[in-house]
């Protein structure tokens, strides 16, 4: 071997040493990360299927912030016809996530969901309160956000173009006629699934959340066998922008609706649901 060739293949070990040191530290860091991961297993992922305007975002922020869970999405579409997003489910069931969704229990959704998810929460609210909150919500979105002009398309049927120029009472009339029946159908279909006892479902309500927030969260933790001492109540800003928190009364519709609107909305819901959940029978309060 000549000198020229030798100079090409000669290795300066002093130059390689720092690289070896970096490699050793990189390997050690990787090892420690794996060991920490094994010593602290992921919490189970939490899925809450909710009717719109029932504390959905507040629940999501509280669970994610209090448990260190990653907020994620497992559905797409528009109410009441959201679909389970199948490609999202494999990573979701690995744990460490929380998702809120508005999908209905259609056969295709149940087929997709139950292939991966073994248990979930179904969260409901008095449909009259849902309808009133929806009117306030869509009006705010329309006035404050650039996408407000098409945000109403995320519900079927969508209001006419002149809707946002109508007085509040007429907007309520439209939603009682068109939106409220979809909310009732969504609620009844999920209750039928829950009552069938074919699936492992925890049923919760907005009334529980309004009455005792911590008790409501602990009920979900118990359902998922998550020790309550792992939950650290986070500070969730009670604002429209951050948590969609409007600070309306639980039964605000009693005074916000006209007597005729109260009567019509109550008849659409049906007294069986009202009696089951102890919702007001429908007599408007006098000012």
Residue of 185, 250, 224, 227 whose CA lies nearest to 55: 250
pLDDT of residue 138: 87
Between the CA atoms of 75, 76, 82 and 87, what dihedral angle is there, to the nearest 10 degrees?
A: -50
**What percent of the chain is modeled with pLDDT above 70?**
77
99 secondary structure, DSSP code: E
Residue of 173, 147, 144 whose CA lies nearest to 160: 173
Beta carbons of 174 and 163 less than 8 angstroms apart: yes
11 pLDDT more than 50: no
Residue of 179, 175, 61, 200 whose CA lies nearest to 122: 200
Q: Tally Cβ neighbours within 10 Å of residue 109.
A: 18
Beta carbons of 45 and 94 less than 8 angstroms apart: yes
Distance, CA of 92 to CA of 133 (rounded, Å): 30
Q: Tally Cβ neighbours within 10 Å of residue 104.
A: 21
Fold assignment, 46-277:
Rossmann fold (3.40.50)
CA distances from residue 256 to 16, 75, 132, 251, 261 in whole angstroms, order as listed: 76, 33, 8, 9, 9
Within 157-244, strands assigned E span 200-205
The region of weakest confidence among 50-54, 74-78, 103-107, 247-251 is 247-251
Distance, CA of 223 to CA of 48 (rounded, Å): 12
Distance, CA of 135 to CA of 256 (rounded, Å): 11
pLDDT of residue 247: 54
Name, in order, each residue with C-beta under 8 angstroms of 209's C-beta and a sequence gap of 6 or more: 54, 55, 58, 59, 216
pLDDT average, residue stretch 113-142? 94
Cis preceding linkage at 120, omega within 30:
no
What are the start-end ranges of the H helices in 40-69? 56-67
Structure tokens at 107: 């056969």
Residues 47-59: pLDDT tens digits? Answer: 999 999 998 988 9
> How do beta strands 75-76 and 83-84 pair?
antiparallel
Average pLDDT, the chain: 84
pLDDT of residue 20: 47
pLDDT of residue 142: 83
Query: pTM, whole model, 2 decimals?
Result: 0.80
Domain boundaries, the chain: 46-277
């Amino acid at each position: 071997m000549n000198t020229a060739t030798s100079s090409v293949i000669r290795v300066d070990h002093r130059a390689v040493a720092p690289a070896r040191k970096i490699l050793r530290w990189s390997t050690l860091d990787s090892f420690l990360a794996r060991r920490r991961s094994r010593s602290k297993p992921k919490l189970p992922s939490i899925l809450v299927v909710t009717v719109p305007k029932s504390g959905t975002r507040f629940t999501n922020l509280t669970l994610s912030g209090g448990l260190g869970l990653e907020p994620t999405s497992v559905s797409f579409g528009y109410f009441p016809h959201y679909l389970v997003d199948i490609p999202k489910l494999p990573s979701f069931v690995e744990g460490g996530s929380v998702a809120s969704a508005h999908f209905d229990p259609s056969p295709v959704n149940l087929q997709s969901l139950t292939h991966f998810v073994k248990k979930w929460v179904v969260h409901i609210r008095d449909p009259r309160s849902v309808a009133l909150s929806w009117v306030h919500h869509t009006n705010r979105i329309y006035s404050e956000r650039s996408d407000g002009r098409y945000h109403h398309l995320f519900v079927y049927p969508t209001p006419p173009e002149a809707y946002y120029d109508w007085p509040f009472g007429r907007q309520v009339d439209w939603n009682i006629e068109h939106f409220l029946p979809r909310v009732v159908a969504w609620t009844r279909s999920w209750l039928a699934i829950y009552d069938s006892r074919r699936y492992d479902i925890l049923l919760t309500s907005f009334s529980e959340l309004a009455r005792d927030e911590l008790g409501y969260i602990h009920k979900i933790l118990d359902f998922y066998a998550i020790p309550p001492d792992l939950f650290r109540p986070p500070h969730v800003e009670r604002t429209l922008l951050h948590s969609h928190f409007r600070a309306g009364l639980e039964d605000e519709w009693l005074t916000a609706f006209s007597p005729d609107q109260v009567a019509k909305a109550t008849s659409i819901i049906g007294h069986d649901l009202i009696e089951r959940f102890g919702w007001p029978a429908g007599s408007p309060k006098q000012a």
